[in-house]
Structure 1
Amino acid sequence: MDRQTGGEADWPGRGALYDLAGCLRFYSRLPVPQMPGEPDPHRSPDFTRLPRMLPLAGVILALPAGLALAAAWSIGLGPFLAATLAVAVLVVATGALHEDGLADVADGFGGGVDRERRLEIMRDSRIGAYGAAALVLALALRIGALATLLDRTGYAAVTALVLTAALSRVAALAPMVLLAPARPGGLSAAVGRPDRGSLATALGLGAALGLAAVPFGLSPGGVALAFVAAGLGALGLTRIARDRIGGQTGDVIGACQQVAEIAALLALVAAAG
């Protein structure tokens, strides 16, 4: 196959590298250069296979925030300010992609009286009372959980931040796997669904990251509890989406990531108590 048009067999791991770059471009504002031999870095993402690299993409996305957390803690800013700076860096790195989804879902599910009205509200770029409240509460819970982890575990909070960023993005695949798109012409319909191989790879990498987090200060029980909490949070919101709009949208996926991340952080806090 032509080396200039994307033959993955040219060297091992080429397809995985392309998918990792695609994940970072889709999920963040980080500058990701074109990979060697990559055919078109601006092509539409193919979510039948792209999600297999989501755990590693989540780690990379969270590294700047983890560094900010460690640096702020080391210079004595205290847990609250350090956690706030870390969350701010993570929001900037992702372009508030998932926060926007959470706000839209809160407005739509909270303010809509039927399926059509909920979808209409979710498409509206303006934020309402439900969305504003959801954003404030979500940020407060993330900052509070990180600050508590810093106070109780020290630098292990950096590990928690990175792990939950990766884990929550895998958990957010739940609506894509379990529900049909609520809008046939929407973005979630256009990008496709993860196939079994991609999903298995993502879950395997997520489990490997969980095991790798233990030597860096997190307890095995806490990691296991975080996995369960993230999964239950994402599945719970997926069921609500099914009941409210009969499917999933990009906003639902973003909201699932936020719910899963908060649930995982709170589980780690409980385990560290």
Structure 2
Amino acid sequence: MIAREVRFFKIALQFLTQLPVGSIGDCPPDWLARSAKYMPLVGVIVGAIAGAAIVLSAAFLPAPLPTVIGIVVAIAITGALHEDGLADTTDAFGGGRTRERRLEIMRDSRIGTYGTLALISVLALKGAALVALTPWNAALVMVAGHAGARLATIVTMSRLPHAGGGVAKVSQKISELTVSEIAVALALGLIPGFLLLGATTFIAAALFAFAAASIIALIARRKIAGYTGDVLGAVEQVFEAAFFVAATALIVGPH
């Protein structure tokens, strides 16, 4: 039982990051559903490593360099998986006139104007938010935000049908998640934020971020009648940016 769960955690880690996980073997047909509950935990790991990079580099470098380093570390760990999804999704939704054309654009590895602007905007928002915090608070926000962002993708997968066609990195629906698996995902996605930021700050920032991510999901429902792996990347990135902004506003307040 424990070995089985460790394997599903390693699958989630391998799917979402570039971190070495060792041998896994052939993935079972329901690998996405069974490993999804551990994706928020992967977010905790990514956020913790990136947050540690901010705190450690702040001992030697002036702002805003530690913040930039932390964001770059997070991108390196994930192999820009979510950023790629954001770019492809905005290119597709901005440039496609039909559902078929939007899905075709998502398959295209090239990046367009919409995708470029989306990446610049999201990275600027995340960087500007984190640089306003102390290195320690920035690290805490990183961990809570990355965990919540992965939970947002699970919610999206559970609420929308897959757009089909093998057009992206994810092609299985998460409808078969059990109650216990959903409970684990919720716990791993929410508890870190409660512990690190406090109930009031975390709940307010998370609600704002979930609302922002839900807009992407609703647009995806209208544009392509479901989600793809790229859409999940966009949901993750929008959640992160919105969470960082809201948490910073609550912690620091207006100047």
TM-score past 0.5 threshold:
yes
Q: Which has the larger radius of gyration?
A: 1
**1:196 is matched with which residue: 160, 167, 178?**
178
1:116 paired with 2:97, answer: no
In structure 2, distance between residues paired with 1:189 and 1:140:
27
Contact 1:171 1:257 in 2 (8 A): yes
1:80 paired with 2:64, answer: yes
Contact 1:107 1:122 in 2 (8 A): yes
Name the CA shift for 1:127/1:259 in 2 (closer, same or farther; >3 Å): same
Superposed CA RMSD: 1.8
Corresponding residue for 2:88?
A: 104
Q: Alignment length, in residue pairs?
A: 250
Where does structure 1 differ by over 4 angstroms across 4 or more consecutive aligned residues?
Answer: 41-45, 186-189
**2:127 is matched with which residue: 124, 143, 165?**
143
Q: CA deviation at 1:43?
A: 6.0
Provide the TM-score with structure 2 as the length reference: 0.91
Contact 2:147 2:190 in 1 (8 A): no
In structure 2, distance between residues paired with 1:17 and 1:111:
42
Contact 1:69 1:86 in 2 (8 A): yes
In structure 2, distance between residues paired with 1:102 and 1:181:
17
**1:164 is matched with which residue: 140, 145, 159?**
145
1:205 paired with 2:199, answer: no
2:32 partner SS: coil
In structure 1, distance between residues paired with 2:211 and 2:79:
26
> What is the identity, as a one-letter code, of the residue corresponding to 2:208?
A
Corresponding residue for 2:40?
A: 55
Q: CA deviation at 1:110?
A: 0.4
**2:226 is matched with which residue: 247, 254, 258?**
247
Contact 1:83 1:146 in 2 (8 A): yes
CA deviations on 1:20-71 (whole Å, 9 max, x unpaired) are 211110001111123xxx6x16666712221111221111122221111001
Q: CA deviation at 1:174?
A: 2.7
Which residues of structure 2 form unaligned runs of 5+?
none
Name the CA shift for 1:120/1:61 in 2 (closer, same or farther; >3 Å): same
Corresponding residue for 2:240?
A: 261
The residue correspondences of 1:58-69 to structure 2 (distance < 5 A) are 58-69=43-54
In structure 2, distance between residues paired with 1:182 and 1:159:
35
Corresponding residue for 2:78?
A: 94
**1:21 is matched with which residue: 10, 13, 16?**
10
Q: CA deviation at 1:199?
A: 2.1
Q: Percent identity?
A: 38
> What is the identity, as a one-letter code, of the residue corresponding to 1:93?
I
Provide the TM-score with structure 1 as the length reference: 0.86
Contact 1:221 1:271 in 2 (8 A): no
